[in-house]
Amino acid sequence: MKLDWMGEHRELVEKIIRYGNAYSNTYKLQRSYGTDMTFSAAQIQTLEYILEAEDQEEKMSEMAARLGVSRSTFSKNVKNLTEKGLLEKYHLSGNRKDIYVKPSDKGREVYMKYTAFVRELCFDDIFKLADRITEADKKSFIRIMDLLADVLLWYGEKEQEPRKLIKIEPDNE
């Protein structure tokens, strides 16, 4: 069957799907990424975001929303990173309810080793190609990725039809 709905964009859609599948297959796998400990892509992204936003005093719930992950997923990643000594938890005096997380010195060190590893592994090649496209094309590509992420986030939260139990009649077994 020919899939005409994609028109001339079939190859682009195919590559997006291929990337999404490859990423989902490795997202939760624990790897060392050139460091002396193992962690998942989900965990390192959490650490990366916390490092990048550490001077913004965001609560964990706010960070989860900005990352596009559920609060429970974010909390699980923070718990794992804290147990590994890569994050430290804080609360404000007079408010024990709101939790804030900051990178530890070990977290910074591991992140630096990780970035050197992944930059050499794949991002140097990606950046060389990105340097050859126009800023307008980069903005268009970024917009495409944002549209995809927005739809996936929306669909992940969308309420699905409730499942119903259907009685199996003895003569239909």
Q: What is the CATH number of the domain that holds 19?
A: 1.10.10.10
* pTM assigned to the model: 0.76
Token representation of residue 32: 């060392």
pLDDT at 68: 82
123 in a structural domain: yes
Q: 123, 48 in Cβ contact below 8 A?
A: no
162 in a structural domain: no
pLDDT digits (tens, 9 = 90+) for 78-109: 999 999 999 998 887 887 777 888 999 999 99
pLDDT of residue 111 exceeding 80, the answer is yes
Closest CA to 107 of 85, 89, 90: 85
User: For the chain, what's the residue count?
Assistant: 173
Q: How far apart are CA 157 and CA 173, in angstroms?
A: 36
pLDDT at 34: 94
168 in a structural domain: no
pLDDT at 173: 56
- Residue of higher predicted confidence among 18 and 58: 18
Strands annotated E in the chain: 87-92, 95-103
Pairing of strands 95-103, 87-92: antiparallel
- Tally of domains in the chain: 1
170 in a structural domain: no
Token representation of residue 58: 């965001």
User: Can you tell me the mean pLDDT for 60-75?
Assistant: 87
Which residues constitute the domain of residue 22?
7-157
89 in a structural domain: yes
pLDDT digits (tens, 9 = 90+) for 114-134: 999 999 999 999 999 999 999
pLDDT at 39: 93
pLDDT at 55: 86
pLDDT digits (tens, 9 = 90+) for 3-47: 788 889 999 999 999 999 999 988 889 999 999 999 999 999 999
163 in a structural domain: no
